[in-house]
Amino acid sequence: MCPSQPVDTNGNNACHDCPVAQSGPCQWLDSSLRDRLVAASVQKSFRQGETILPSGQPPAWVGIVLSGLVKISTIDEQGNEHVLQLLHPGEMVGDLFGSPALFSFDAATDTRLCLTQRSSIKEAFDRNPEAYAAHLRIAMRQLLEQHFAQLAMRGRNSLQRVAYWISTQTPDTGTDRLLSVRILLSRRDLASLLKMSVETVSRNLHQLEDRGIIRVITPERLEIVDAVRLRLIARDQDSRLKENLLRQGWEWGARSVNLPRYTPKAGQRPALAVRP
Amino acid sequence: MCPSQPVDTNGNNACHDCPVAQSGPCQWLDSSLRDRLVAASVQKSFRQGETILPSGQPPAWVGIVLSGLVKISTIDEQGNEHVLQLLHPGEMVGDLFGSPALFSFDAATDTRLCLTQRSSIKEAFDRNPEAYAAHLRIAMRQLLEQHFAQLAMRGRNSLQRVAYWISTQTPDTGTDRLLSVRILLSRRDLASLLKMSVETVSRNLHQLEDRGIIRVITPERLEIVDAVRLRLIARDQDSRLKENLLRQGWEWGARSVNLPRYTPKAGQRPALAVRP
DNA sequence: CGGTATTTTGAACTATCTCAACTGGGGTGG
DNA sequence: CCACCCCAGTTGAGATAGTTCAAAATACCG
């Protein structure tokens, strides 16, 4: 599948500069297998919003995200779209075994994929079944990412989720200088992914701006002014507490003082809670 | 891994009545491979609440759930446990490649697992790498289930989620007769899984009882009185509308009348929304 | 049976959603 | 080139589902 060297639209051998050569499934394939897959692969670009693999379709190919973001989403009975997961470069689109997709895969941003014929994959994998291991690793990564994403939604209020999202979009370096970030997703997709309404996203963004943590240059471009405080907010709820301690006299912390809420006694299981 | 015939604690060959012989990964393994794995496998039981694989541990074995439910969970900085996913019989516990678990795997109910030495698996799979395909299928199933579970949380209010959960616990037969259901999970786990507080779970359960849809016998045992209406509520929000139409004069439907909220115009993308 | 843990009930509070109106940029066609 | 339209984003105000805290009731267990 993610052939290391698929032929691009010009017929050139594009694998030597494949952006996911080190992160995609190909990293675990030996060169002979890769060569076999190259022949059956093409790269293809999708515009933001384009559907890559519609729900219900048994995929004729399997794709690896090369660049951009792919959203797994579905539209419910009321016509509301729900973004379930974002796929990053190196991850898979489409079932290797040909099961029809149960959700829709769309380009969340402009996207480039490496598409490989399923029929060719099957043939190649029958000969080199260890290649399945590579895809298993990717599948498990996607599962793990999904769990993390879910966890990030739990126990965080909307402001924290927005802050968290922004901080995931930046290199993890502790830069204290101005950092420009491009929000690739539309407000709608972002809101759905963060499980809140568009309005709330907007309000939170501007609340962060009012607090001098970010600057909203254009709707899709923003600057991180105070990366430290951003992460502090994103981190967890008791960042509120910390932040209040730092700049006391703010009027929305009253409840924070009630922490800690968790005082385990011997043998008592910790309380489960969705909201901290 | 899920050897079809692991030796149980009595040294007997237990595979011929393996409960997941048809649904677990073994279904795709040929008998020679299964035989090889049998030798390295044992069945083991865990009590509700016991930790099967602690977070941070590189697993020495890989397990297949035979019966019961395993929860993937984590405890956040405030000591709140978050249940991220439930694993059902036939699904996998522990990374095949030996990566340390990033979340904790615990028995959500009394549970029985089939554990296979990772070292033996590796050896066996190196010879029969197609076995990875079987595990890839399972991994993709878990991912899919996770997406469905997430979707079930979206666009449903707490009452609907509870109703949905109950209805998933019953055989899908359209029984109109009294059906007894055992809630295997503790209220805490259930609440966390359904992303609500314990109190709300309780209130919803009793609201369903007041409406004559279920009967709460004991906290962990309940009867479904009206499976049809239960599913109607679980289904989606406009079940409210339907239910109001059927038995009009109920006082909590006012807003439902505002439906439909989605009136797409040509070329307009559907509105994204988290809550219907 | 007494003590403890869980579940239930009640009441107040608040984060977030919904609805609705406003803003501004980009493209289109006159 | 300008006026207009259209749509994404923003802002405001009100409504509400669900949380939190606290206390009562019930189930569980030795």
Q: What are the phi and psi torsion angles at A51 (to 5°)? A: -85, 130
Count how many domains chain A has.
2
pLDDT value at A218 more than 90: no
Band (A73; pLDDT cuts 50, 70, 90): very high
Q: Residue B263 is which amino acid?
A: T
**Three-state secondary structure string covering B228-243:** HHHHHHHHCCHHHHHH
> In the 235-254 stretch of chain B, whose C-beta falls under 7 Å of nucleic acid strand D?
254
- Together in a domain, A193 and A239: yes
Quick check: helix, strand or coil at residue A242?
helix
Distance CA B102, CA B106 (A): 13
The reply to whether B2 falls in a domain is no
- Please give the average per-residue pLDDT across B101-128, as a whole number: 89
Residue B253 reports pLDDT greater than 60: no
Do B224 and B178 belong to one domain? yes
Confidence of residue B32 (pLDDT cuts 50, 70, 90): confident
Task: Give the one of B78, B81, B188 whose C-beta lies nearest to A260's C-beta.
Answer: B78
| Contact between residue B92 and residue B66 where contact means Cβ atoms under 8 Å apart | no
Domain containing B167 equals 157-254
Q: Do B176 and B144 sit in the same domain of this protein?
A: no
| Selected residues 95-154 of chain B with any CB under 8 Å from a CB in chain A | 95-97, 99, 102-103, 125-126, 128-133, 135-137, 139-140, 142-144, 146-148, 150-151, 154
Q: For tokens 């017929």, what's the residue?
A: A11
Closest CA to A137 of A275, A24, A260: A24
Q: Give the model's pLDDT for residue B262.
A: 27
Establish if A237 belongs to a structural domain. Answer: yes
Q: Do the domain assignments include residue A246?
A: yes
Transcribe chain B into DSSP letters. ---SS-B-TTS-B-GGG-TTTTTSGGGGS-HHHHHHHHTTEEEEEE-TT-EEE-TTPPPSEEEEEEES-EEEEEE-TTS-EEEEEEE-TT-EES-TT-PPPSSEEEESSSEEEEEEEHHHHHHHHHH-TTHHHHHHHHHHHHHHHHHHHHHHHTT--HHHHHHHHHHHTS-SS---S-EEEE--S-HHHHHHHTTS-HHHHHHHHHHHHHTTSEEEEETTEEEES-HHHHHHHHH-THHHHHHHHHT---TT-GGGGG-----PPTTPPPPB-S--
Comparing B251 with A231, the larger pLDDT belongs to A231
What's the pLDDT score for residue B1?
Answer: 44
Same structural domain for residues A37 and A146?
yes
Q: Among A59-73, A174-188, A218-232, B147-161, which is the least confidently predicted range?
A: A174-188
Residues B143 and B161 in one domain: no
Taking the CA of residue B172 and the C1' sugar atom of nucleotide D8, their distance in angstroms comes to: 43
For A208-233, b/e burial (b = at least 16 CB within 10 A) is: beebebbeeeeeeebebbbbebbbbb
| Each residue's pLDDT tens digit, A129-161 | 778 889 999 999 999 999 999 998 888 899 999
Q: Supply the pLDDT for residue B78.
A: 75
- CATH code: domain of residue B178: 1.10.10.10
- Candidate from B80, B97, B129 with C-beta closest to A272: B80
Residue A251 vs residue A140, higher pLDDT: A140
Q: Is residue B74 part of a domain?
A: yes
Cβ contact (<8 Å) for B140 and A140? no
* Mean of all residue pLDDT scores within chain A: 78
Does the reported pTM lie above 0.75? yes
DSSP string, A95-143: -TT-PPPSSEEEESSSEEEEEEEHHHHHHHHHH-TTHHHHHHHHHHHHH
Comparison of pLDDT for A258 and A137, the residue scoring more: A137
Same domain, B125 and B199: no
Residue type at position B119: S
Q: What angle do CA B174, B191, B222 make, to 5 degrees?
A: 40
Residue A1 placed within a domain: no
Q: Say yes or no: A133 and A52 in one domain.
A: yes
Judged against a pLDDT cut of 50, whether residue B33 lies above it is answered with yes
Residue predicted with more confidence, B235 or A220: A220
Of B82, B142, B155, the CB nearest to A154: B82
Q: What DSSP designation does A155 have?
A: T
Whether residues B137 and B180 share a domain: the answer is no
Query: What CATH number is given to the structural domain containing A124?
Result: 2.60.120.10
A139 shares its domain with A210: no
Residues of B in contact with A97 (CB under 8 A): 133, 137, 140
B167-216 pLDDT, tens per residue? 888 765 555 566 777 887 888 999 999 999 999 999 999 999 999 999 98
State residue B77's pLDDT score.
76
- Identify whether B260 is part of a domain: no
Closest residue (CA) to C1' of nucleotide D8 is A187
Positions 119-148 of B with beta carbon below 7 A from strand D are: none
* B276 interfaces chain A, CB cutoff of 8 Å: yes
For residues B87-93, average pLDDT: 94
Q: Report B:212-251 residues touching A (Cβ under 8 A).
A: 236-238
Q: Which of A69, A110, A106 is nearest to A89 (CA)?
A: A69
For chain B, the first-to-last Cα distance in angstroms comes to 43
- A137 with A63, same domain: the answer is yes
Average pLDDT over residues A256-263: 27
pLDDT of B127 reads: 82
